[in-house]
Amino acid sequence: MNPNRVPEWVRALAYEHGDNNPVFIMIKSITISDLNHQQQNRLLIPSRYAANLIAMLSEHEKDAANLLQPTARRNVPSTSRAQGRNHGGLDVCVYPQNRFISYLMLTRWDASGSIVIKGKDYSWLLSCSYLRENDEVELWGFRKGEERKLCFALVKKAH
């Protein structure tokens, strides 16, 4: 994978929204936990790619996504870590190649410190992107419109 080679549909999508410079965020193989929208309900961004993502965020966006804390808060009382707790986060849009938009959130989980993209539309994203375990995907970031809203393009690589 060459992160300098932006997929043509990603370049066109970003351009349509006023951005001429999509940014490579990550490449990964989809895991079972990425597909488990009933429990995990998230796309994990591997820690080795965190710097790619953080570099394109403003301080306000880092704060909204809970990324200003340098480490996980593993000693959070178990009552605070109740399943389904609202982690807050930064509103983002995610587009698979068919361009069916998903409105999600970028956040960091307290217990693990993992950066994730999650939210109510996550099952919709899984449906329209036809992801399966071990599919290789790339994530590219770009900015949308005058408000410069953070968006992502999720690229499913051909086998």
Residue whose entry in the numeric block shows the structure tokens 């009552």: 79
pLDDT of residue 70: 61
In CATH terms, the superfamily for domain 8-70+88-156 is DNA-binding pseudobarrel domain (2.40.330.10)
Residue 68 has what pLDDT? Answer: 86
pLDDT of residue 38: 77
Report the predicted TM-score, pTM, of the whole model to 2 decimal places.
Answer: 0.86
pLDDT the model gives residue 85:
47
Q: Which two tokens stand for residue 94?
A: 């995610």
Q: Is 12 helix (H, G, I), strand (E, B) or coil?
A: helix
The tokens for 17 are: 């929204």
- Residue 133 DSSP SS3: coil
Residues with pLDDT less than 50, the chain: 1, 72, 74-75, 78, 80-85
Q: Are 151 and 92 in contact (CB under 8 A)?
A: yes
pLDDT for the residue numbered 49: 96
